[in-house]
Amino acid sequence: MKQLRIKAILILACCLIWQGVYWTGMYSPLIFPSLGTIVHALGRDFVEGALIEQFIYSMRLVIEGLLLSIVLGLGIALIARSSSVFRSGIDLLISLAHPLPGVALLPLVILWAGIGEGAVLFIIVHSVLWPFLVSLFGALDRLPQTQQEVADNYEIFGWRRLIWVDLPGSFPGFLSGVKIGWSRAWRALISAEMIFGATSGSGGIGWYLFQKRVFMDTAGLFAGLVVIMVIGILIEGIFFRWIEKRTVIRWGMER
């Protein structure tokens, strides 16, 4: 409750500063709208249903891309732990692909896959997979040697070893990789949609921001940013925190 009060006070302070700057008249309302105008735009788009539809569409794509990245990451981790040669090759691939922004691949992705959902999912997976693997490999490399020896003695190998031995022991790193992947997936989706537009009849949050920018609806633009920030607070501060309390904190892995 103390942390919630502190966060609420900080948010309230930011709102007061924003409204204070608006009242000074330093900037035109066209580029710096009041809080009331932003709230009105947010309520209008929610009531009309467009923002809700675009939010659901974005959430679906992000979740699909995140789950696909996790499955691919676990498969790659299984291959990497089966051979030092494979691990070296995967480490090289991570070094090459991890620094490469997903947006930089958009021209090629558009040529290969068009501008449909498949292209967006490709960008999301590229943005999520490599940091997820870095976090997962770091956690797996820190597993106690005695734990590995016990698994060898009981002849636990392959998927059974990864699921029942390695992942529970490295769960903090796994969860950290999922959290990083979540934020990277959002950025990839919004960036992709803001560059080449909608990928369905309505598009997602990125398409919503793109439309508001084109039509100079600054209040609507800030309303879309507020939605993204609220989603981040709910997912990071509530959902993932709830998982941490019932896993790594309860198990004594973290405080």
- pLDDT computed for residue 119 by the predictor: 82
Output b/e per residue, 11-37; b: 16+ Cβ within 10 A: eeeeeeebeeebeeeeeeeeebbeeeb
- Structure tokens given for 226: 């507020």
- pLDDT computed for residue 204 by the predictor: 81
- Structure tokens given for 179: 């959290």
Hey, what domains does the chain have and what are their CATH numbers? 49-246 (1.10.3720.10)
The stretches of the chain forming alpha helices (DSSP H) are 2-24, 35-48, 50-80, 84-97, 106-113, 117-141, 145-153, 158-161, 167-169, 171-196, 205-214, 218-232, 240-246
Other Cβ atoms less than 10 A from the Cβ of 131: the count is 19
DSSP letter at 105? G
Say which amino acid occupies 136.
Answer: L
Say which amino acid occupies 54.
Answer: Q
Half-sphere exposure (Cβ direction) of 105: Cα atoms closer than 13 Å: 19
- pLDDT computed for residue 198 by the predictor: 52
- pLDDT computed for residue 69 by the predictor: 93
Name the one residue in this structure whose structure tokens are 């803001």: 194
Per-block mean pLDDT, blocks of 10 residues, the chain (255 long) = 78 90 87 90 85 86 92 89 85 88 79 78 90 89 78 76 79 88 88 67 78 86 88 84 82 67
- pLDDT computed for residue 133 by the predictor: 92
Measured CA to CA, the distance from residue 105 to residue 123 in angstroms comes to: 8
- pLDDT computed for residue 131 by the predictor: 92
- pLDDT computed for residue 202 by the predictor: 59
- Structure tokens given for 90: 């995967």
- Structure tokens given for 42: 């947010």
Cβ(46)–Cβ(52) below 8 Å: yes
- Compute and round to an integer the Cα radius of gyration of the chain: 22
Q: Taking Cα atoms as reference points, which of 133, 170, 132, 172 lies closest to residue 148? A: 170
